[in-house]
Amino acid sequence: MKTTQLSGAHAFIHSIMHEGTDTIFGYPGGAIIPVFDALYDYFDKIHYVLGRHEQGSIHAAQGYARISGKVGVCIVTSGPAATNVITGIGDAMLDSTPLVVITGQVGTNLLGTDAFQEIDVVGITQPITKWSYQIRRPEEIAWAVARAFYIARSGRKGPVVLDFTKNAQTGLVKHYQPEKCTFIRSYVPVLKPNIQKIEEAAQLINQAKKPFALIGQGVALGNAEEELQEFLTKADIPAGWTLLGESVMPSDFPLNKGMLGMHGNIAPNLKTNECDVLIAIGMRFDDRVTGDLSTYAKQAKVIHFDIDAAEIGKNIPADVPILGNVKTTLPLVTKLLNKNTHTEWIASFEEAEQKEKELVIDYEIHPKNGAIKMGETIAKISEATRHEAVVVTDVGQNQMMAARYSKFTQPKSFITSGGLGTMGFGVPAAIGAKIGAPDRTVVLFVGDGGFQMTMQELGTIMQEKIGVKIVILNNNYLGMVRQWQELFHAKRYSSTPMQNPDFVAIAKAYGIKSERVSERSKLDTAIDTMLANDEPYLLVVDVEESGLVYPMIPAGTCVTNIIVNGEKIKL
């Protein structure tokens, strides 16, 4: 498109549309009004989703980006609106979610004067973004937008912030022309594979007697799910996954051995310290996965696939680093692998798997009496959706239980806040996920505490008629904090009991159908009612107040220090 004259605000809308944007989340305000005024002319081309709080809007953009693979776009005004999106920006940075966040800003003549709703957005956001830039002249808009989208979606994906001054929005651009950015000097988003390291990795794997793979979100971000399965299958390598790596492999994939980390499955955690070659694929050795670094996988040679050079050797030294997009690097290694079998090694997982089934899983999902359990609720819903739903979680016990007891048949089906652990993420992220995947069932599992942090976004669900299914696992506590207080702080339940409102009445006020279930005999029917159509629905399930998420590795201890019912597992 070329024109003789265009306002900065209109040039901005044309520029983001040139990048493929068709959905925007946000909240208007004084310093961004010109952009919203321009947006009014494009509602036939752009779906604008009005949140009820800026934090809700940016989490919705995250959910949309995670499920769709597109760059999430969030537009808010200056001052408190800009500071309200900081949590989402930090969350996106830690979880490698591609976002372009636009904040309004006072005119350049007022910068530095402490003008009304002025805040140093660039200064605040630079440490938690891939790039943060202030647009001061309308002539910069096409360049800045093209650069922002390129940085957000390339290499290790992440958030970018454009701080948009008022005069740049209202000023005129002569001879506007949208730009496309494909190169930035000194920015190398993906390095070319080092063939020598590829060969070294293949040699190590071919010689391994007890190989074990750790799968992270990098596989999903690289769209390398098929390449991963081919790699694992050819060399017969069992694999565990991180929280953000869930659903990268189908739950019934024969080499899928379950979740790693603090509340992960027993077998993959134990086998981390027994394998002879540890293969990390698109994961960053987070402390919740490794526990005590001084005791982690000391017996193993480590191969680390990652797109970000900064992650290689940051926590765990790599004997063979392989930099690049795993969609490219994995097949290069697979090509050099011998067709292999590790029957005895894989069979050695079975004892721990059976122990966990007896001590934890059967107790959690097939209880014979007592209050409804989180695990059984989640397992029933997973079964009722044929394991095809997109599962979104908030943070806490609901998150860990959903990760443990949901099953998946499709990739990109599990959305949660990993690195930052943001309570309040769930409701808005589920909104974004449903908008990004309108033909899929989206189920949110959220605690009573996390729900109340962003429950105002029920207004967004009402206005947009978004058919998300919200399941409040209600235990009248901040459950995960309560668990730590019970296990490590002598049951001193400081500030964790919660007196909750009538969630059903709140849903009714927003015109959303709802039901509350306290009896196990009514749970199946309530689930069927919730899933009967694509309307929004809120199901409140009163679960046991004293429920604990087991197994558990106490923070900072060895990954083999696994406790169940307060006692260390012995095999």
Enumerate the active-site residues.
54, 116-117, 166, 480
CB 302 within 8 A of CB 237: no
**Three-state secondary structure call for residue 309:** helix
Residue with tokens 């957000």: 152
Residues contacting residue 393 through CB under 8 Å, at least 6 positions apart: 399, 402, 403, 414, 415, 416, 426, 444, 445, 446
Euclidean distance between CA atoms 571 and 556, whole angstroms: 22
Euclidean distance between CA atoms 516 and 507, whole angstroms: 11
According to DSSP, the residues that pair with 101 across neighbouring strands are 74, 161
b/e string for 411-442 if b means 16 or more Cβ within 10 A? bbbbbbbbbbbbbbbbbbbbbbbbbbbeebbb
Strands (DSSP E) contained in 277-329 are 277-281, 301-306, 320-323
3-state helix, strand, coil in the chain (%, to 5): 40, 20, 40
CA 376 to chain centre: 23
Euclidean distance between CA atoms 558 and 553, whole angstroms: 8
CB 404 within 8 A of CB 445: no
Residue with tokens 């989206």: 442
Does the bond joining 551 to the residue before it have cis omega, within 30 degrees of 0?
yes
**Rg of the chain in Å (alpha carbons):** 24
CA neighbor of 60 nearest in space, from 453, 403, 401, 454: 454
CA neighbor of 299 nearest in space, from 374, 208, 221, 165: 208
Q: Which two tokens stand for residue 506?
A: 């709140």
Q: Cα separations (Å) of 472 from 367, 401, 445, 449, 503? A: 20, 13, 6, 9, 9
**Three-state secondary structure call for residue 506:** helix
CA neighbor of 281 nearest in space, from 245, 257, 233: 245
Q: Which residue blocks in 385-512 are alpha helix, DSSP H? A: 397-405, 426-436, 448-453, 458-464, 479-488, 503-509
DSSP letter assigned to residue 279: E
Q: Which two tokens stand for residue 25?
A: 């989340």
Give 352-414 as a DSSP string.
HHHHHIIIIIHHHHS-SSSSB-HHHHHHHHHHHTTT-SEEEE-SSHHHHHHHHH---SSSS-E
